[in-house]
Structure 1
Amino acid sequence: MKKTLITSALLLSALVFNSCGEEKKEEAPVDDTPAIETFDLTKEKLSSQVSLPAELSGFRQVDLYAKVSSYVKELKVDIGSKVTEGQILIQLEAPEISSQLAAAQSRLHSVEAVYTGSNANYNRILETSKVEGTISKNDLDQALARKSSDYAQLQAARATVREIQVNQGYLQIRAPFTGIVTARNINTGAYVGPQGKGSDLPLLTVQDQKKLRLAVSVPEMYTGYLKDGDEMSFTVRSMLNETFKAKIQRMSGALDLRLRSERVEMDVINTDNKLLPGMVAEVLLPLNSKDSTFVVSKSAIVNTAEGIFVIRVKDNKTERVAIKKGRDAEDKTEIFGDLSPNEKLVKNASEELRDGTPVKN
């Protein structure tokens, strides 16, 4: 009986001790403020690149038409022919021009003879008039007028001959520059003439392929990162294992109203003729910031239906700040908004973090 009482007393004491311990544990304060990782906002220059489609074309290209209506007498070149500046490419024939030139030259000789006579007559009258009383003033004036009229007729006849000779020169179509013939749309004996009258298509197309133009349309958001002289690389589909270099030579300085982009041109030296006009190229445009901007990791940006924002920690509480995104480079993004350097931002932001959420230091 005595042993039983002692055991009961010990058990009761243990229960009382455990109960007191549990009460003490329940009374201990618990810190439920979440631990959120933050970082200091800093500025840096972000460098990235964007890939855009571009097109190669001949540095100089011209479509050749006939100036006068005529027939093709001789075709001296064909597609792929290499030509030099001034070389005769097509010899045309127009018999009526030869007849017009012969008639104009005949009239010129006639007018020259008339002017020679009137000029000689005036000179004789002028010499005679120096003796007082021999020639009246009226006769001298009439001789001068006849001489001036005949001289005007002579000048007109000469101009007519020159005009026909110029038209006759158009019967020889010459290469305007050194290049290669890339298109031919006529054959010997064909009737040709000015565009829309005898030739809807050009007779020949000549291109200068030793230097090519690489044209790319740069979207509006990237135009501020480019300037004359910037070097970039590009590839073409037929030689994917080879990379070519080019520098910006010309920028249009205005946006195309349809594409909302700026035309940028580069010159590509092509002395080895590896590249062909008309090839589609893939250009890598380097986008280097001129000034430092705020750059954060992509995990710090929250994109919701309400907008794009980052979460700032101010006075140990969260605060959403609306931003606009700039360029992306790997896992980093440019941001623009009401922000200041060295402010603390949440590194792994989420939509669940509402304004005013307490944050541990």
Structure 2
Amino acid sequence: MHNHKKILLIALAICGQVIAQSPARVELVAVESRNPTRTIALPAELAPYLQADIEARVPGYIEQVLVDRGSRVRRGQVLVELSAPEMKAQTAAAEANLHQAEADQSQAEAQAAGIESTFARLQEASKTPGAIAGNELVQSEKERDAAQSLVSSRKAATRAASERLRVAKEMEGYLRVTAPFDGTITDRFVHPGILVQGGTHTPLLKLQQTAHLRLTVPVPESYAGHVVSGTPVNFHVSSQPGKTYSAKIARISGALDAQSRTMTVELDAYNKDGSLAPGMYPTVDWPVSSAEPLLLVPATSVVSTTERTFIITPLNGHAHWVNVRKGAAFGDQVAIRGEIKQGDKVVKRASDDLREGTPLP
């Protein structure tokens, strides 16, 4: 009885060992062929879409600075007011000259109207023989022509005075320095009481458009041939960890920098929540696509040893090792090259434990 139990235990142990050594069912997948896209991390820089150093066009004393660093302004908004009394005096003198010119024109027009009326009466009377002296009509005509010439001269003087007043008012208007576009004042250089000289490239303020930004990316030469305008691209900034921003490719320089061998590409980024700022250095998830279809298999299908890199395919129901060259990874897949083609079956989870010629269950 004891021997029967011993034999039974040995049989069970052998059976269990056979079961344990039976190979698990091997999962096969097909080789794919497609043009995959992956992303690489590229450094970039954010810059304002528009920026300007706000300067005075005319000399004057700073009367008021109506904005400061951080002020959001609209196009046409007054930023700085200057004071220049001599300019106001010039405007007042131009206004007075215009009023005088208009009065002189009115007087000349009234005189010309009277002379024209007299000439018309004499001309009508001359139709009756002997009614007026022969040279009287000629003299009246000359007076009419002189009066008309004077009116023309007075009108020209009025136009000239009006133009001088327009220029004077335009120059006086430059005492109110306005914003050329919507944006944010990012720096201030002046205070009330300072004398500034117009046209000397001395900035009063710095204005930048921060709601719309330029994302500048230096794209390496090897990836520069597949940049497409309008492509959306994600990017990240260190000040907002975990947050993803999006921009679109808008401007492509089309030329490589001789030193860095990169091509500058600009993207439009919109700073809706104000969390981005010019001068930041984001990291861009730059999309890279292959120029021709690649053969792709799961990354777990490729086995690399010190001697070779291979995949395992079924051949007449047995494992067959096929040498390949491993390429770029695209998610959980990897590109390969070798004696393999689209649609061939490969072992999904391969290892060198599955030896050449091993039966595949």
TM-score (normalised: structure 1): 0.65
Corresponding residue for residue 114 of structure 1: 104
Aligned match of 2:49 in 59, 82, 106? 59
* Equivalent position amino acid for 2:186 in 1: T
Structure 2 Cα separation of the partners of residues 184 and 96 of structure 1: 27
- Specify the alignment match of 2:278 in structure 1: 277
Shift of 1:168: 0.8
Q: SS at the partner of 2:187?
A: strand
Aligned ranges for residues 157-176 of structure 1 at < 5 Å? 157-176=161-180
Structure 2, unaligned runs of 5 or more: 1-30, 127-135, 303-326, 342-361
Instruction: Please state whether the residue corresponding to 2:185 is helix, strand or coil.
Output: strand
Q: CA deviation at 1:257?
A: 4.9
Match of 1:266? Answer: 267
Identity of aligned residues (%): 33
Partner of 1:254: 254
Superposition pairs for residues 220-259 of structure 1, below 5 Å? 220-248=221-249, 250-258=250-258, 259=260
| Alpha-carbon shift at residue 333 of structure 1 (Å) | 7.0
In 2, Cα distance between the equivalents of 1:279 and 1:238? 9
1:177 aligned partner: 181
Please give the alpha-carbon distance, in whole angstroms, between the structure 1 residues aligned to 2:72 and 2:37. 44
1:293-346 CA deviation, whole Å, 9 max, x = no partner? 68999x9xxxxxxxxxxxxxxxxxxxxxxxxxxx944796799xxxxx97xxxx
The structure-2 alpha-carbon separation of the partners of 1:116 and 1:268, relative to structure 1 and needing over 3 Å to count, comes to same
| 1:159, distance to aligned residue in structure 2 (A) | 0.4
Give the partner amino acid of 1:94.
A
Within the candidate set 133, 141, 164, 2:145 is matched to: 141
Paired residue type of 1:266:
L
Residue in 2 aligned with 1:193?
A: 197
Residue 218 of structure 1 corresponds to which residue in structure 2?
Answer: 219
> How far apart, in 2, do the equivalents of 1:256 and 1:168 lie?
48
* Matched-pair contact (CA < 8 Å) for 1:125–1:135: no
Distance in 2 between residues matched to 1:210 and 1:236, nearest whole Å? 16
The size of the alignment, in residue pairs, is: 269
User: C-alpha distance in 2, partners of 1:178/1:231?
Assistant: 25
Cα pair 2:216 2:267 within 8 Å, conserved? yes
Of 71-80 and 140-149, the range deviating more from structure 2: 140-149
Query: Contact 1:251–1:262 at 8 Å: present in 2 too?
Result: no
1:141-171: CA deviation from partner (whole Å, max 9, x where unpaired): 2222211111111101000001110111111
Give the Cα separation in 2 of the matches to 1:47 and 1:155. 69
Question: Once structures 1 and 2 are overlaid, which stretch shifts more, 111-120 or 125-134?
Answer: 125-134
| 1:31-110 aligned within 5 A | 44-110=34-100
How far 1:68 sits from its partner (Å)?
Answer: 0.2
Q: Secondary structure at the match of 2:146?
A: helix
- Gaps spanning 5+ residues in structure 1: where? 1-40, 300-326, 336-340, 343-361
Aligned positions of 1:283-298 closer than 5 A: 283-289=284-290, 291-292=292-293
Q: Secondary structure at the match of 1:130?
A: helix
The alignment partner of 1:209 has SS state of coil
How far is 1:254 from its partner?
2.4
Change beyond 3 A, Cα 1:334–1:88? farther
